[in-house]
A and B are shown apart, each in its own frame.
Chain A
Amino acid sequence: MNSALLVNMARFILLLAAQILVFNNVNFLGYINPYPYILFIILYPVNGNKSGLLVSSFLLGIIMDMFCNSGGVHAASSLALAYFRPSVFKFSFGLSYEYQTVKLNDSLTPERFSFILISVIIHHFALFLLEVFRLNFIWEILLKTLLSTIFTTIICIIIIYIIKPSKR
């Protein structure tokens, strides 16, 4: 048992608990909820086990689905985000991201912000597309994606600032 694994497991459980107990009940303007549980996927170590990330994102999503009564919607969108994460890394941090020590939970730079924003958009668009599942509601899907993305991104950044490890 190394410490990275323990940190990840703690993150998994805490984010899930926060999402179910607090953020699912926000209902801003009646229907807009933030989904900061995807921080688990965003903050997963850059050079960590890729298959491990896929399986744990799937588990994260399926537990969310159980609580939200939504079939496999969260599981599919979390999985999509986990799969496209390396490409987003490449886009935001440049080709050589694997050799740098990319630390996400640090002060906010344009690269980090763009990474979080794109991740959130990918996840939310997949989520609302599958949740609504009707193409004649496409404008509602886009509107929901836009509003929830703004909301989730702000809360993700706040959470990153709160849990930022203290400087040595």
Chain B
Amino acid sequence: MQQIFNFIFKNSHRLLFLLLLVVSLVLTIQSHSYHRSKVISSANFLTGGVYERVNSFREYLNLKTQNDELALENARLKSIIFNAEDTTSIPKIDSIKGVDKANIIVSKIIHNSYNVYENYLTINSGSADGVKSDMGVVNSAGIIGIVDKTSKNYATIISILNVKSQINAKIKKSNHFGSLVWNGKSTGFVQLIDVPRLASVRKGDTIVTGGQSVIFPENIGIGTIDKIYIDNQTNYYTLNVKLFNDMTNLGHVYIIKSKDREEITNLEKKENE
């Protein structure tokens, strides 16, 4: 017994190091799996509060671009309303197709990140506003990411610039599906992989979200094809997609609350049982 105590006292420094190292490595490994630890995320009172303050200053710097963007979107929505065939019919809005199928929560990005391989954004609305995990996040130009963790007033988003993110997408004109991933190289480009060779693709074609996922409604813009090459191992097309969004400069976002989602996930759960 005496010797055990002696050993502990003699090596207390090293043991403390090993203990703390194990804790931090566990947190690290957890953070690299898809559903991360709840403890260490920026969706909490302290970090959310700090980022909100910082952002309220930074907002002034790009008020002009934000205003331009909102004005453009207003113009687009107005044109849809004015061009409606019958003034009594409900206008069909392309980017949020099926208004009756989804609710929209307006929110604001208070912390943006794009310089690491696993990027997360923080927004200033949380479970109190109805935000839940796995909801889609878009803005006027296109998709941004998927909600990850929520706290009462804040939430974190897995950006599409995250090597872990994988989103169902398709080529707008031909309906061929693929998975949207990021190779971690450039903030302006993502990759659409596993597109079958049968698909006719051309540079400049538009890529939109596919209808297979319950997170995003169909036909939300993502980007245009920039480069086409064939994967040597799988023999499928890999498309380099130039994003509509400038992910380094984001402001207001919309969170999509799909009404069918619960029904579909419940159905699929039953199927698996």
Contact = CB atoms under 8 A, between A and B. Distances in A.
A66 B16 contact: no
Interface string A56-92: 0010011001111111110110011011000000000
Given A66-B44, A68-B113, A76-B25, A54 B31 contact: no
Interface stretch (B64-72, B114-122, B203-211, B250-258): B114-122
B184 interface: yes
Given A62-B24, A79-B17, A69 B41 contact: yes
B28 A71 contact: yes
A70 B50 contact: no
B137 to A, nearest CB: 15
Contact of A73 (B13, B28, B36): B28
Nearest to A21: B54
A61 B42 contact: no
B4 interface: no
Interface residues of A, number: 36
Contacts of B163: 134
B267 interface: no
B116 A72 contact: no
B166 interface: no
A12 B247 CA distance: 32
Nearest to B31: A71
Interface stretch (A25-33, A117-125, A149-157): A25-33
B116 A54 contact: no
A55 interface: yes
A61 B117 contact: no
A27 B118 CA distance: 15
B187 interface: yes
Q: Is the interface of A mostly helix, strand, loop or mixed?
A: helix
A158 interface: no
A72 B47 contact: no
B12 A72 contact: no
A80 B20 CA distance: 10
B16 A51 contact: yes
Interface in B162-214: 163, 184, 187
B27 A71 contact: yes
Instruction: List the 6 closest A-B pairs by CB distance, nearest first.
Output: A71-B31, A72-B27, A72-B24, A75-B24, A31-B115, A76-B24
Given A66-B46, A83-B21, 6 more contacts: A27-B115, A66-B42, A70-B40, A71-B36, A131-B118, A140-B184
22 contacts: A27-B248, A30-B115, A31-B115, A61-B24, A66-B40, A66-B42, A66-B44, A67-B42, A67-B50, A67-B51, A69-B40, A71-B29, A71-B31, A71-B36, A72-B25, A72-B26, A75-B27, A130-B28, A132-B116, A132-B117, A133-B28, A133-B32
Interface of A: 20-21, 27, 30-33, 50-51, 54-55, 58, 61-62, 65-73, 75-76, 79-80, 82-83, 130-134, 137, 140
